Amino acid sequence: MKNLRVQLQVQINEKIYLKDPYSSDLGKKILAESIRLIDSLGLEAFTFRKLAKELGTTESSVYRYFENKHKLLIYLTSWYYGWLEYQLVFSTTNISSAEERLRVAIEVIAKGISYRESIDNFEIDALNRIVVSESSKAYLTKEVDDGNKEGFYGGYKRLVGRISDIALEINPKFENAHTLISTIVEGIHHQKYFADHLPSLTDLEGDTTLLAGFYSDMALAILHKT
Partner DNA sequence: CTAAAATGATAGTAATACTATTAAAGATAG
Partner DNA sequence: CTATCTTTAATAGTATTACTATCATTTTAG
Binding site for DNA (CB under 7 A): 19, 23-27, 45, 47-50, 56-61, 63-64, 67-70
- Chosen from its own copies, DNA, none, partner binding at 27 (C-beta under 5 to 8 Å by type): DNA
Can you give the binding site for its own copies, defined by CB under 8 A? 41-42, 44-45, 133-134, 136-137, 139-142, 144-145, 148, 153, 156-157, 160-161, 175-180, 182-183, 186-187, 190-191, 193-194, 197-198, 200-204, 214, 217-218, 221-222, 224-226
Residue 95 gets the label, from left (phi > 0), alpha (psi -120 to 50) or beta, of beta
- Chosen from DNA, its own copies, none, partner binding at 78 (C-beta under 5 to 8 Å by type): none
Q: Which amino acid is at 109?
A: I
d(CA 187, CA 127): 18
Minimum CB separation of residue 39 from its own copies in Å reads 10
Minimum CB separation of residue 221 from DNA in Å reads 44
Minimum CB separation of residue 181 from its own copies in Å reads 8
**CB distance 202 to 194 below 8 Å:** yes
Q: Which is nearer to its own copies, 122 or 153 (CB)?
A: 153
Minimum CB separation of residue 152 from its own copies in Å reads 10
Structure letter (DSSP) for residue 135: G
d(CA 89, CA 83): 10
3-class SS of residue 5: coil
187 CB burial (10 A radius; 0-12, 13-18, 19+): middle
- Chosen from its own copies, DNA, none, partner binding at 156 (C-beta under 5 to 8 Å by type): its own copies
- Chosen from DNA, its own copies, none, partner binding at 66 (C-beta under 5 to 8 Å by type): none
Q: Which amino acid is at 133?
A: S
d(CA 56, CA 35): 16
Q: Name the strand (E) or helix (H) holding 12.
A: none
- Chosen from its own copies, DNA, none, partner binding at 86 (C-beta under 5 to 8 Å by type): none
